[in-house]
Each structure stands twice: as C-alpha cells, then as structure tokens.
Amino acid sequence: MATPKHRFILCFDFDGTLVHPESDPVFHPGLGQMIQLLRGQGAAWVVNTGRSLGQAIEGLAQHGIYAEPDFIIAQECDIYKPGFFSRWTDFGSWNRQARRAQERFAKDHQPSMQAIRQMVETQTNASFISGSEGEMGIVATTDAELDGICAYIDTHARQFPDIGYHRNGIYLRFSHSGYSKGTALSELARLLGLDSSACFAAGDNYNDLSMLDQRHARMIACPGNAVDPVKQIVHSRGGFVATRVASEGMMEALNHFFGGSKPPAA
C-alpha cells in the first residue's frame, strides 16, 4: 500500500511546548489524539528541537509519547526521517550542507568570534564555551546579561549576515544563520512539495523564533508558558497565544487553526 502524500505540516518544539516537566500530565494524551486525527487527514507530525536526535527519541519515550513522528529536526537544524527498524536517517542533502556550512562558519569568522569572546570575558560574568569540533557558545548568568551580549553579537551579524545563534534562556550556541529551525522547516516543506501556507509551527523560547515566522509557517502559535518576548512576537505576527501551558496550550492552538475546519488544501 502506497504511503499517503503529506498535505500539511504540524511542527512543534519539544521541551516547553510538547512537554512541560512541571505539568500534570507532562504530556496531555489529548494532544496525542488530536495529532493522530490530523495525521489521518494528511498531516506530517514534526518535532523540531534543540536536542540531538538521540536525546529527542529518548525524550519521547521518557514522557510516554510512543507514536513515532514523521520527521525530527534535531539540534535546531538537521532533518531526519525514520527508516527500517526505527533507524533514523538524513532526509535529503540538507544535513550535509548544514555541516559543511558550520565548518566554514567557524573558520570564516574567527576575528568576530575572538572579539565576541573578549567582550564576554572582560565585560560580563558569562562564560564563552568552545568545543573540540568547532562548536561555540555562551552561558550567561541572567537573561538581561545575555540580552546585552546578543546586542553586541548583532553588531557583527550586520556586517557578516551569516553569523547566527540559537538562544534558549541563558544559553546560546553559535551557528550559520542560514541553518535554523525555520529554514529547516521550509526545506522539509519543499521536499514534501509544500509551502509556508501548509505549515503550522509552535514554540516557547527564543530559539523557536526563526520558525515562528510567516516566511516558514503561516500558522504560528506559542503555549501560555512561552517567554514574554516570544508571546509578543507571535501576537504581532498574527499568531495564536494559548492560555494554557505546553501540550494543553497546543490543544488550544490546534483547535484554533483546525477545529471545525478543513486542513490546508493540497
């Protein structure tokens, strides 16, 4: 039997959006039922997370989400699809392109990274982190401190537009700006023969803002526990701001966009 063609995309951040450790339940089974019903109407269910692929799979099982997503976008960039025996594999050439771009990023922007590192180490209480494979990031002591650091990073990004970063609370990871949750979502849509009008995206933190953008998803939402700047941006972009937290808020969002109406036309 042929695999049905995906007609639209349901894309969720994981931590804070699908699940919330302080909620009871952590993941509401009603959301799982809604997702499954929409999958029956042609939805591709996507988990788009800063976690690694392995951490995402472990998190789904840990929180009792046993239905397998159609796709996982891991580390805010890499697109995976399930294969035989639940082995996940690269979907298309995007992941290879992203890895090459990240390698070039680390080499091409050494002067800017050094200037940012000096600013962090001499003017703040934050820590600049560098890994053995070119990974670079920052751990701040407060949100306000990281706000100031991001403003300084943005002065470099205006001169070098491919300087990007993923921020979640007081944590920041540098990346090539062309590879983010948003651009990965658009690439997945392209591979499925869809566009932003067929994409729903939801998230709660700064690193979700790239996909909470109508260039990548015309239907955007955030749960009631989203950080205030994300709520404000989602509202300003004509999206839906839920009143309840995480999975219960996502039930509100799906009702808002799909309740009593047909899914986006193919």
Coil, strand or helix at 21:
coil
Tell me the per-residue pLDDT of 18-55, one tens digit each, with 9 for 90 and over.
999 888 899 999 999 999 999 999 999 999 999 999 99
Q: Span 59-83, mean pLDDT?
A: 92
Phi, psi of 104 (to 5 degrees): -65, -40
Per the prediction, the chain carries an average pLDDT of: 92
Distance in angstroms (rounded) separating the CA atoms of residues 241 and 220: 9
In which residue are the tokens 């339940």 written?
A: 25
Q: Which two tokens stand for residue 115?
A: 């200037």
Distance in angstroms (rounded) separating the CA atoms of residues 174 and 250: 29
At residue 9, does pLDDT exceed 90? yes
CA angle, 45 then 75 then 174, to 5° = 140
pTM for the complete prediction?
0.90
pLDDT at 264: 60
Tell me the fold of 8-76+180-258. Answer: Rossmann fold (3.40.50)
pLDDT at 266: 47
At residue 2, does pLDDT exceed 50? no
CB 227 within 8 A of CB 204: yes
CB 197 within 8 A of CB 264: yes
Phi, psi of 99 (to 5 degrees): -65, -40
DSSP 162: T
Kindly list the distances between the CA atom of residue 63 and the CA atoms of 8, 178, 209, 228, in Å, as whole numbers in the listed order.
Answer: 26, 32, 25, 26
Residue ranges per structural domain of the chain: 8-76+180-258, 101-176
pLDDT at 87: 87
pLDDT at 107: 86
- Between 263 and 14, name the one with better pLDDT: 14
The H-or-E segment that residue 32 falls in is: helix 29-39
Tell me the per-residue pLDDT of 214-260, one tens digit each, with 9 for 90 and over.
999 999 999 999 999 999 999 999 999 999 999 999 999 999 999 85
pLDDT at 263: 56
- When mean pLDDT is compared over 1-15, 53-67, 72-86, 210-224, the highest value belongs to 210-224
pLDDT at 86: 63
Tell me the per-residue pLDDT of 90-140, one tens digit each, with 9 for 90 and over.
998 999 999 999 888 888 899 999 999 999 999 999 999 987 667 899 999
| Helix ranges, 77-227 (H) | 94-108, 110-123, 143-159, 181-191
Tell me the fold of 101-176. Answer: Alpha-Beta Plaits (3.30.70)
Domains 8-76+180-258 and 101-176 share a fold: no
